[in-house]
Amino acid sequence: MQQEYPHAAPPPLLELQLVDQRHQRHPLPMDVNIPIHNINPYHRVQEILQAISRTVPQAERHQVLESSLQFLSHEDTALHDYEVDMGADRALCLQLGYLDMLQTSSPTNNNNNNNNHTQQSRMNNYNNDTVTDVSEQILICWCLTRIYQCSREQRLRSFQEIGLSDLVPILTKILKRCISTNSAADNSNNNSWKNHGRALSQHMDMMVPVLRILRIFAKLDGPVKSDLLRWKNGRLVTVLVDILATHSNNNDSENSFDNDNNNNHPAALLVDNNSNQVRGGVEDENHFIRQSVVAMESFGVLKDLSFRLDNNDKEYMYRFLRNTLIQYSLSASCGSNNGDDGTRPRVVHASLHGKLLESVAAMLWNFATAPKLSFEMAQQSILLKSLGLLLQYTGSSSLAAEEVVKIKRNALSAFGNLVAALTREYRGMVLLTSPTRAADEERSNAAAFRSQDWILPTFSRLLRYESDKDIQRRAMRTIRCLAARAWGREFLWEGSDVKGCLTLVLNDSNAVFDVSTRIQACETMLNLTEDPHIMEQSSVIFEISLSQAIAKLKDQPQLKEQDKLIVASTRALYFCLERRPRGQESFFPRPDAFFASLLACTKVEMEATHPPIAQLLLKLATTDKVVATQEFEHNRSPNGGMKTKCPVWQEAVISPPVLDTLTALLIAKGPLFYQSHSLALDVIHHFLQNPSNKKVLAKNAELLSAMVGVLLVR
């Protein structure tokens, strides 16, 4: 079920400390024209609607809107539903459209076809009437955000009735006008900026509730997202991208990243040429804070719009956002101070930098879930580089640790989906094209990943030093996906510490890694066994690590997904034995603990665990030169290791845990156990080839009874 989002929000910038305390907000005055003696809130809604709908002087209209906002700022969902039923959303939309029409038709905003009005003259045209109009529009938009705290059904109804046809076009026009205003301000001289700072601040403040309304619509499921995305050929998304491009001062966003070999320093792509200029002193800092909030709100709309889109819409949306996402993700390279020390241009206010990067990484993850698009994204080296910067981001001292964790989680999931896409595409290509074509793609993928020198050291650090379980699991999953293909195994094994990371995860005794991460490690090791070169170097280490991991299972409490861990570890050990180099010995430390744990594993989700356990037992019974290292206190080597070796099946096979394991496999009843029964009988048949084992087997009454029971039902 999709998470319910809180759609209400405080007035803009309340979360941030403005430098100039003159900008502090005061309580909204009650309007004398709206009676307050009627305490019935449902009747009060009707009174407010009548007051809003009246044609009143501008000053009185402003008071009505202030009082309306004060009343609408409640948390009663049923009352908000009633407000929508009574048409409050439509009334406010009409008022907003009326004010927008007045502002659009005013001489100060008419387009000059002769292009005689420069940006400087446009700035000089802002008068007090314009400021007042904007303030009323701000109040109307905040009222709408309060009303849309109604139920999801009412929000959907409002969108269907007035959203796409009336409200969204008005909001888009307002955003475009604000973009033009701010662009003119950023290119004006210092004196002009100072003279019109109040107008600029109000235009920035106005964008926040406008974006909040759009974000409320973007959270609606179903066709609403697609309607918003494709409205007038992506006009809304284009406007949001323009907001972000204006904020980062990137006027060539269409072509900035067309060449994946772009070697410009990332910070150079994010220069805000005016952010460090002293235009209005304290006012300039407040303006930068407002810009940062607007950028965050724009990303919020885009992030919610990208969530749960169908694959075709994701591909359509990504075309608009590719350069913007790369541009902002590269800001992670600007250092933990985000330029606040003056050494680099600032991209966003430090208090919002982490949230911005979290949104960027979340959108990349959303897009990477579309199979066709994810394969395309995996071919873009600049995008892979940007994901690497997100994974290496450490934040600042003021940045909450949970924000850094969320950034890395999202970026890991995005990168993991890109790696998985290469595997999916390869499999389809083998079926549809020639093996030569598939081999060429394998080499191309390998070359693309070798150019990303950050991947292996970054993933090693994530596994060794990150304490977040989700980050560990997603990192291990990505390594497992890489190990699924020949080019990925070659990439992982060249100068990496993947062997050490796998051993670290499998031999975890302190619950540093969760069960899912250990399952991914077992499956990674299984994939690596497909490479003969890797097996020549590491088969013994793999077998020891897996046998030790299995031996520790009996000492651990019942774990979630423990059956999957048992299946993954026993299958991985089976294939290690199956694919080990010919003539090479296998070593099992403490076989007594190993077989005792294997017996304990037969009691967990028997339908799932019995077949791989029986298969492993048969492989151990039929494998030559399987050697166990037993512990004898009198025969320790100087470095603490054990030197005494003896064949497993002469010492361990006839021990009670082995016979009890076979008994447990045979006594399970039902057709689902036919395979494990057959494998267990094959193990016993192999034991009987050695005459010395016959007497031991014959004395085990429980084993004989279980064998008879299986044979009787066949």
Same domain, 95 and 192: yes
Go through 549-566 and write b for each residue having 16 or more CB atoms within 10 A of its CB, e for each that does not.
Answer: bbbbbeeeeebeebbbbb
Same domain, 195 and 344: no
Examine residue 189 and state whether it is found in any structural domain, yes or no. Answer: yes
Q: Which tokens is 85 given?
A: 């039923």
Q: Going along 453-572, which residue ranges are E strands?
A: none
pLDDT per position as a tens digit, 156-210: 999 999 999 999 999 999 999 988 877 665 555 555 545 556 667 777 889 999 9
* Helix/strand/coil for 642: strand
DSSP 112: -
User: What does the alpha-carbon distance between residue 213 and residue 169 come to, in Å, rounded to a whole number?
Assistant: 12
The answer for residues whose C-beta is within 8 angstroms of residue 327's C-beta and 6 or more apart is 248, 250, 253, 256, 257, 269, 270
From its phi and psi, is residue 55 left (phi > 0), alpha (psi between -120 and 50) or beta? beta
Q: Which tokens is 441 given?
A: 């793609």
Work out whether the CA dihedral 458, 459, 465, 471 comes out positive or negative: positive
Instruction: With a cut of 50, say whether residue 16 has pLDDT above it.
Output: no
Instruction: With a cut of 50, say whether residue 18 has pLDDT above it.
Output: no
Q: Which tokens is 553 given?
A: 């299972």
User: What does the alpha-carbon distance between residue 146 and residue 565 come to, in Å, rounded to a whole number?
Assistant: 49
Q: Which tokens is 529 given?
A: 């066994």
Q: Contact at 8 Å (CB) between 31 and 63?
A: yes
Same domain, 158 and 276: no
Of 182, 205, 220, at which residue does a domain stop? 220
Same domain, 207 and 343: no
Give the strand order in the sheet containing 626-629: 586-589, 626-629, 645-647
Same domain, 138 and 85: yes
Same domain, 179 and 271: no
439, 520, 508: which is closest to 476 by C-alpha? 520
pLDDT value of position 636: 38
User: What does the alpha-carbon distance between residue 232 and residue 312 come to, in Å, rounded to a whole number?
Assistant: 17
pLDDT per position as a tens digit, 573-590: 999 999 988 777 766 667
For residue 230, count other CB atoms closer than 10 A to its CB. 15
Mean pLDDT across the stretch 68-81? 95
Element (H, E) at 646: strand 645-647
What are the Cα distances from residue 32, in Å, to 28, 48, 61, 70, 568? 12, 12, 12, 13, 73
pLDDT value of position 283: 54
DSSP string computed for 331-359:
GGGGTTTTTTTSSS--SS-HHHHHHHHHH
Q: What's the pLDDT band for 247 if we cut at 50, 70, 90?
A: low
Q: Contact at 8 Å (CB) between 381 and 452?
A: yes
pLDDT value of position 26: 35
Q: How many domains does the chain have?
A: 2
Of 404, 429, 452, at which residue does a domain stop? 452
Same domain, 345 and 283: yes
pLDDT value of position 120: 46
pLDDT value of position 442: 72
User: What does the alpha-carbon distance between residue 87 and residue 95 come to, in Å, rounded to a whole number?
Assistant: 12
Q: What percentage of the chain has pLDDT greater than the value 90?
A: 47
Q: What's the pLDDT band for 109 if we cut at 50, 70, 90?
A: low
Mean pLDDT across the stretch 611-626? 86
Element (H, E) at 586: strand 586-589
Same domain, 316 and 418: yes
pLDDT value of position 629: 52
pLDDT value of position 427: 55
Examine residue 425 and state whether it is found in any structural domain, yes or no. Answer: yes
pLDDT value of position 113: 43
Q: Contact at 8 Å (CB) between 211 and 138?
A: no
Same domain, 200 and 324: no
From its phi and psi, is residue 209 left (phi > 0), alpha (psi between -120 and 50) or beta? alpha
For residues 87 and 10, which has the higher predicted lDDT (pLDDT)?
A: 87
Q: Which tokens is 195 given?
A: 């003279």
Phi, psi angle pair for 626, to nearest 5°: -90, 120
pLDDT per position as a tens digit, 635-659: 333 433 333 334 444 444 567 888 9
Instruction: With a cut of 50, say whether residue 379 has pLDDT above it.
Output: yes
Q: What is the mean pLDDT of the chain?
A: 79
For residue 675, count other CB atoms closer than 10 A to its CB. 14
Of 452, 477, 502, at which residue does a domain stop? 452
Widest pairwise Cα distance in the chain: 109
User: What does the alpha-carbon distance between residue 77 and residue 392 come to, in Å, rounded to a whole number?
Assistant: 43
Element (H, E) at 195: helix 190-195
Ranges 44-48, 382-386, 564-568: which has the least confidence? 44-48
pLDDT per position as a tens digit, 693-708: 888 888 899 999 999 9
- Return the top range by mean pLDDT from 14-28, 227-241, 579-593: 227-241
Examine residue 319 and state whether it is found in any structural domain, yes or no. Answer: yes
Residues of the domain holding 35: 1-107+128-220
What are the Cα distances from residue 450, in Å, to 135, 264, 528? 55, 20, 18
pLDDT value of position 633: 35
Mean pLDDT across the stretch 137-161? 97
Mean pLDDT across the stretch 379-388? 93
Examine residue 160 and state whether it is found in any structural domain, yes or no. Answer: yes
pLDDT value of position 204: 85
Q: Contact at 8 Å (CB) between 406 and 350?
A: no
User: What does the alpha-carbon distance between residue 544 and residue 565 come to, in Å, rounded to a whole number?
Assistant: 17
The answer for residues whose C-beta is within 8 angstroms of residue 186's C-beta and 6 or more apart is 246, 249, 274
Examine residue 228 and state whether it is found in any structural domain, yes or no. Answer: no
Examine residue 344 and state whether it is found in any structural domain, yes or no. Answer: yes
- Return the top range by mean pLDDT from 329-333, 565-569, 636-640: 565-569
User: What does the alpha-carbon distance between residue 221 and residue 104 come to, in Å, rounded to a whole number?
Assistant: 33
User: What does the alpha-carbon distance between residue 438 and residue 424 come to, in Å, rounded to a whole number?
Assistant: 12
DSSP 28: P
Same domain, 62 and 201: yes
Tell me the CA end-to-end span of the chain in Å, nearest whole number.
47
- Return the top range by mean pLDDT from 30-34, 90-94, 116-120: 90-94
Q: Which tokens is 52 given?
A: 């809003």
pLDDT per position as a tens digit, 404-424: 999 999 999 999 999 998 876
Q: Which tokens is 376 given?
A: 């395309």
pLDDT value of position 196: 56
User: What does the alpha-carbon distance between residue 36 and residue 242 come to, in Å, rounded to a whole number?
Assistant: 44
Q: What percentage of the chain has pLDDT greater than the value 70?
A: 72
Examine residue 40 and state whether it is found in any structural domain, yes or no. Answer: yes
Same domain, 71 and 210: yes
Mean pLDDT across the stretch 668-673? 90
Examine residue 547 and state whether it is found in any structural domain, yes or no. Answer: no
Instruction: With a cut of 60, say whether residue 83 has pLDDT above it.
Output: yes
Instruction: Give the pairing type, strands 645-647 and 626-629.
Output: antiparallel
pLDDT value of position 17: 35
pLDDT value of position 428: 55
User: What does the alpha-carbon distance between residue 216 and residue 78 come to, in Å, rounded to a whole number?
Assistant: 18
Phi, psi angle pair for 3, to nearest 5°: -70, 140
pLDDT per position as a tens digit, 360-372: 999 999 999 998 9
Mean pLDDT across the stretch 243-248? 79
Instruction: List residues bridging with 642 in a β-sheet.
Output: 636
For residues 137 and 266, which has the higher predicted lDDT (pLDDT)?
A: 137
Mean pLDDT across the stretch 103-119? 52
Q: Which tokens is 184 given?
A: 């003119």
Q: Contact at 8 Å (CB) between 52 and 95?
A: yes
User: What does the alpha-carbon distance between residue 691 and residue 574 come to, in Å, rounded to a whole number?
Assistant: 26
Same domain, 340 and 448: yes
Q: What's the pLDDT band for 123 if we cut at 50, 70, 90?
A: very low
DSSP string computed for 615-639:
HHHHHHHH-TTEEEE---GGGB-TT
Instruction: List residues bridging with 646 in a β-sheet.
Output: 628
pLDDT value of position 272: 38
